[in-house]
Amino acid sequence: MPRSGRVPSVVLLLVVSWASTAAGQGWAESAMETRAFLDRSGRGDLSRLETSLVLRARYRHGWDKRSQRISVEAFWRIGLDNDRRTHLDFRELNWEKRWSNFELRAGVGTVSWGVIESASIVDLINQRDLLEGLDKRAKLGQPMVRLSWIERWGVVEIFMLPWFRERVFKGRDALLRAGVPVAGDTAVFGSGAGPRHLDWAVHWTHAVGPFDFGVVLFSGTNRDPRFIEARDDNAQTVFIPKYDRVRQVGTHAQWTTSRWLWKLETMTRTGQTTVGGGVEYVPVGFLSVFVEYLYDSRGSEATTLFEDDFFLGARLHWLDGDAGVGTYIDRANGNMLFTAEGTRRFGDRWTVTLAGHLYGGSTTADPPYSPRWDNRVSLTVRRFF
């Protein structure tokens, strides 16, 4: 899979031109994003100001009485002052066939599961796209064959995942709390087959009355690496990502009443249990208030900042935009992470988004393998086509 800007951009241009002329349905979006970091990284090679362009193009074409379809979604970020965030990725590139109660999808796709606001715990099919930031839930397209079986008692999806995609450790968001660089291109695998190990997953989901729930079984390469301390060629200490083979069970559930939405996500794999749950309160239709708790049994070995944290958040919608704020508070050491994002629409084709996060607390108290969450603000102007 392409993972850097060196891949001929011709592919994306072809998708865009094809999308605009072919009989199917094409969309496109462009954006310019500027990120400003409020503190120095401690490393001279990382700038405090970064500007990049984003192109996203989507094309869908259905035929055979809508029972067959191809979907293409290409995402391309181009760094203007450095190429650390430059990458091209196909979030979707697949063919789908629909029968009365079966569906088959083959190709590259993106799948998202989960119910809580503050984290993704049960989600596991796709690798995270770290170049897109820590607070965004961007993911790399995953090669897959998915068979879905739709019945009265729910939907069962069986995934075969023939190729594993490594996390890309580059730029600010690859920095870990321990301050040791991650040598992303020297990853080691728990399986002798490396990234070619055939992973599989089964997902059952159902809705009964006010309850929506699901169970996930997974056997394969852990998308979330551990870090092993090593020395690089210059005898400097580095972290090498290690992708273990794991078996894991995940669950998600939501109980929806007219004003209160109770949510729970759990995930258990060898040596780790992660739980997130809480409630969303909707006093009026345009406002949601969230209170959640996140737990990771790895404690100080966790690769997340949220190993024992409360989350308080709110989301607001109005005619021309929406905004959200959130605060993560570590139960044990009181460290806080404050996030905010607001988007305003201008006309039918433009939006402007202002986002940022601030970290406050004692850095030595956080898990050393957790991301650093450097303080930042970003401004994104989007134009849709």
Partner 1 sequence: MCDRIRNQLPSWRILISINVVLHLLTALPVIAQTAEERGRTIAQEAYRRDSGFHDMTAQLTMVIHRANGRERTWEMRTKVLEVPGDGSKTVIMFDSPLDLRGTALLTVDHRTGSDQWLYLPAFRRVKRIASASQTESFMGSEFSYEDIRSQMFENYRYRLVGEEALDGRDAFIVERVPLNAASGYSRQIVWFDTHTYRTLRVDYYDRSEQLVKTLTISGYRLYLGRFWRPDTMLMVNHQTDASTMLRWRDYAFETGLTDRDFDRRSLTSAN
- Radius of gyration in angstroms for the set of CA atoms belonging to the chain, rounded to a whole number: 21
If one asks whether residue 64 binds partner 1 (CB under 8 A), the answer comes out as no
Burial 226-260 (b: 16+ CB within 10 A, else e): bbeeeeeeeeeebbbbebbbbebebbbbbebeeee
Q: Shortest Cβ distance from residue 237 to partner 1 (Å)?
A: 38
**What is the CA angle 130-365-275, rounded to 5?**
60
Task: Find the binder of partner 1 among 40, 318, 334, 365 (CB under 8 A).
Answer: 318
Pick the piece of the chain touching partner 1 (CB under 8 A) from 233-241, 278-286, 294-302, 359-367.
278-286
Task: Compute the 3-state secondary structure of the chain and give helix, strand, coil in percent, each to the nearest 5.
Answer: 10, 55, 35
Q: Confirm or reject binding of residue 254 to partner 1 (CB under 8 A).
A: yes
DSSP secondary structure letters along 85-123: T-EEEEEEEEEEEE-SSEEEEEEEE-------SS--SS-
Stretch that binds partner 1, among 6-14, 113-121, 222-230, 301-309 (CB under 8 A): 113-121
Q: What is the DSSP string of 164-182?
A: -------SGGG-BTT-PPB
Contacts of 253 (CB under 8 A, 6+ apart): 115, 211, 212, 213, 214, 263, 264
- CA 305 to chain CA centroid, Å, is 16
Stretch in the footprint of partner 1 (CB under 8 A) among 218-226, 233-241, 243-251, 282-290: 282-290
Among 14, 54, 150, 180, binds partner 1 (CB under 8 A): 150
Q: Which of 94, 222, 351, 378 binds partner 1 (CB under 8 A)?
A: 351
Smallest distance, partner 1 to C-beta of residue 349, A? 5
- Asked if 69 interacts with partner 1 (CB under 8 A), we say yes
Our CA dihedral for 89, 84, 34, 140, rounded to 10 degrees, sits at 20
The 226-231 sheet, strands edge to edge: 188-189, 237-243, 226-231
- CB of 354: closest distance to partner 1 in angstroms? 15
Output the smallest distance, CB 337 to partner 1, in A: 20
Stretch 171-190 residues interacting with partner 1 (CB under 8 A): none
Asked if 202 touches partner 1 (CB under 8 A), the answer is no
Q: Which of 63, 95, 149, 385 binds partner 1 (CB under 8 A)?
A: 385
**304 touches partner 1 by CB under 8 A:** no
- Tell me the closest approach of the beta carbon of residue 293 to partner 1, in angstroms: 20
Chain positions contacting partner 1, by CB under 8 A: 25, 27, 60, 69, 96, 100-101, 110-115, 137, 148, 150, 155, 207, 210, 212, 254, 256-261, 280, 282, 284-285, 318-320, 343, 345, 347-349, 351, 382, 384-385
